[in-house]
Structure 1
Amino acid sequence: MAIIDLFLSRRVRRGRLTVVHHDGQLRTFGTADPAMPDVTIRFTDKGAAGAIIRDPGLGAGEAYMDGRLTVDNGDVLGLVTLMTANDLWEDGAGALQASPATRAIEAITHRIGRINRARASKRNVAHHYDLSDRLYDLFLDADRQYSCAYFTDPANSLEQAQDDKRAHIAAKLALEPGMTVLDIGCGWGGLALYLHQKTGAEVLGVTLSEEQLKVARRRAEEAGVADKVRFELIDYRHVTGSFDRIVSVGMFEHVGTPNYTTFMRQCRDLLNDDGVMLLHTIGRAGPPSVTDKWTVKYIFPGGYNPALSEIVKANEGLRFYLTDVEVLRLHYAYTLQHWYDRTTAARDAIIALYDERFFRMWQFYLAGALCAFKYGGLVNYQVQFAKNRHALPITRDYMYEREQAYRAEQPPTRLQAAE
């Protein structure tokens, strides 16, 4: 029996995986389960299986990207589902981790890679967020919300869930007319424009993506609010002034653990005496760890999803009140399912933009992320902070009341696809 066969026989129990080896030999693993995929894969050369044995995540990702591993029945999401659903985070087996020696090396190199000084941060952001506008139009919602949506019902559309996410966040900010808001990592400007429209707040959005900045500024101009909703290309460490509220969605993953306390201190110092901050970030349900090598290499260089303990520790000693924590468990899995389906449907368009290898990379990225939230140890945290103990009501009722009011109103104008 080949080593890869032994590896798979121990890891695929529920669901059925058929493997066609490069020499034509066929092996089947697991048992049919109506709740699980039935997948057939093919190794097109001898070395692909060995690469997967050495480092399952990196090896499988690269083999799929390069066509050394093909999916003949089912799709790559089915393959990733088979592997991860048989290795639930709750069970603690960690069967898909790299070897201990590989993990030890990665722990050192990853810590170095996530230092994320200002220059490196801009380069890392450009790697992912300065891709073609057309790519993001193909798989995101019309407002280009590139972060976890909020599903009040799993059957909701992606557009509805992203609307509800913005209402959920706005409610936690407890905004009042005339307030000033800093949006750190503002993306294409959708949240900043929403906050101004709903509350009249003046918003400064900051980003390190030149492409996102162009779109955000264009949107503010077209909406006639460029004097109230401004966008700047600036690192959070270099922002000056004072604000009533700070919000950061999907940016903390790029800060780097050595900079967590710097980030928290900067946010506290930028807030007025009655200031409130909301941090929305992907996080780990377990203890601190490292980002898998494939994701760092191909998708998010310098990226890291923090454990809740790391967020709390970064805030300790700053006299910055931790006022609310919410854990969103399956919401990102639902979001990623929409993104994966739209990406797969846009295969020809994405290949025309880039090539087949890029399409496979993007598809594998979304499939892996989806399963990490559905079966693995990733969640989303929404963590609220306040400058003083009196800045917010003493119960959470205000959140529910405001959120319902925002959701009842007409949704804001949608982003038009970039030409």
Structure 2
Amino acid sequence: MTGQNGTQRQLKATLALLDEVAKALDADIAIELWDGTRVPLGRKPDPDLTIRIADPGVIASLLRRPGLDRIIRPYIKGLIDIKGGTLYDVGLLFAFSPSRKRLKRIPKGTILSFLSAFLFAPGVDLNAGRAFSGDESDHGKNRPKSDETEFIQFHYDVGNDFYELFLDERRLYSCAYFSDWNNSLDQAQHDKLDMICRKLRLKPGERFLDIGCGWGALIFHAAENYGVHAHGVTLSDAQLIHVREQIKAKGLEDRVSVELKNYVDLEGPFDKIASVGMMEHVGEDNLDTYCATINRLLVDKGLFLNHAISRKAKKGQKGKNRFSSRPEQRALQKYIFPGGELIDLGRTISSLERNKFEVMDVEGWREHYQWTTKLWLDRLEANRDRAVELVGEDVYRIWSAYLSGSSLAFLRGSARLYQVLVSKNPKGPANLPPSRADLYR
């Protein structure tokens, strides 16, 4: 179906469907169609917040191959755009709304007319821009180490200058800790570093390892404030170069070191170990190897702090916890974190206990990460022009969508964040204080 008649039929069918959608949702937003028509989806729409569909071919392509990945692609390419806000603002309207039940009330005849107007119409090219070209879902035991390096470098080597646009002054790329919700991101990230060091009860002269050290904030904080000998490992060349430059600039060559190495190849021993935002890259098939390796690297009675995003466990779930089959997880693997997999808290703790650790403390930071990702999004949006200049429109849009989706996932509770503190070999005294009071001095 092409030509003027076909286009008019598509417009008429779309307007009819949107009229029914508006009755069902009554949402404070509008849809702007390819011909400039603006259709409110509620009685009092936000005068600015609008979803713009640039071409009717977008709808045709989405209907023929529906799915979250296919929705993300036209956004990346600018064929679907958000005016007057972000994807977070749009998602927030529906985060706690029973919209699916209401949409089921739309007359079937209206839906059929809409489908017939688009199913055989010309589509648009929805080939992705920046997407991982390999097997982004490979998180099995037999994946080669070269794959893990490619996964990490795909995400982190976008460029240090880009990450500086939305991260804090220390360039921390993990959940901050807000002792007060009004604290700045810089303050909250400093407090996160200090809380990790306090939970590990770091002492002068101890050997401390940070697995997946990022741009080095934790190893520098631990060495400068707690007197430890800190070592970091990363698989990112960009991060490695930055940390080495900072070690030299700070004059910490005798107390801080870093190397480009897979954690399984490390040699110990270390007195204390932290893994902050790294376990998400491990994959459930490799979880026991991960825990066993950390046990091997620790001294007896040594402490390990695991800080990781998780998914909630499914009721009545048997066998493996395959969150990677979820549409949002597959999209995350393709565009942001190839090889990544989220593991529920219960399975993480079970693996730690199987590998001779005793759980000493568990703390949920879900709301802290919701606020962290929202602040990152706000900072990225404030630096949009510079971001596009550095990495291009498609990469900027990918990260904007990723941060929006992440913040909404933590808000809804479909994603969680836990810090788990464990001690090696649960026999005799754990050599820890009798309460948590020292953490909040």
Q: Post-superposition shift, 1:52? A: 5.0
**How many Å separate the matches in 2 of 1:195 and 1:16?**
47
Q: Post-superposition shift, 1:310? A: 2.4
Q: Does structure 2 retain, via aligned residues, the 8 Å contact 1:170–1:403?
A: no
Q: Which entry has the higher C-alpha Rg, 1 or 2?
A: 2
Q: Post-superposition shift, 1:80? A: 2.6
AA of the residue aligned to 1:176: K
**How many Å separate the matches in 1 of 2:233 and 2:98?**
39
Deviation digits for residues 59-104 of structure 1, max 9, x if unmatched? Answer: 332111111112234333212322434369xx9x9xxxxxxxxxxx
Deviation digits for residues 166-196 of structure 1, max 9, x if unmatched? Answer: 1111111011222111110001111001111
Partner of 1:415: none
Equivalent positions of 1:262-411 (< 5 A) are 262-287=289-314, 288=321, 289-290=323-324, 292-389=329-426, 390-393=429-432, 395-397=434-436, 400-404=437-441
Deviation digits for residues 110-165 of structure 1, max 9, x if unmatched? Answer: 76456553111100000011121111111111100110000111111000100111
TM-score of the superposed pair, with normalisation by structure 1: 0.83
1:9 aligned to which of 21, 24, 37? 21
1:44 aligned to which of 54, 61, 69? 54
Equivalent positions of 1:138-157 (< 5 A) are 138-157=165-184
Aligned-CA RMSD value: 2.8
TM-score of the superposed pair, with normalisation by structure 2: 0.79
Q: Post-superposition shift, 1:402? A: 4.3
2:97 aligned to which of 81, 86, 89? 86
Equivalent positions of 1:108-123 (< 5 A) are 112-113=138-139, 116-123=143-150
1:22 aligned to which of 20, 23, 34? 34
**How many Å separate the matches in 2 of 1:37 and 1:321?**
55
Deviation digits for residues 274-320 of structure 1, max 9, x if unmatched? Answer: 20100001111343322522211111111122211221232242221
**How many Å separate the matches in 2 of 1:4 and 1:383?**
52
Q: Which runs of 5+ in 1 are unaligned?
A: 94-108, 405-419
Partner of 1:57: 68
**How many Å separate the matches in 1 of 2:432 and 2:23?**
50
Q: Secondary structure at the match of 2:173?
A: coil
AA of the residue aligned to 2:83: D
Identity of aligned residues (%): 34
Q: Post-superposition shift, 1:326? A: 0.8
**How many Å separate the matches in 1 of 2:34 and 2:341?**
36
Q: Does structure 1 retain, via aligned residues, the 8 Å contact 2:283–2:342?
A: no
AA of the residue aligned to 1:362: W
Q: Does structure 2 retain, via aligned residues, the 8 Å contact 1:32–1:38?
A: no
Partner of 2:119: none
Q: Which runs of 5+ in 2 are unaligned?
A: 1-12, 104-134, 315-320
Aligned residues, how many?
382
Q: Does structure 2 retain, via aligned residues, the 8 Å contact 1:286–1:377?
A: no
Partner of 1:196: 223
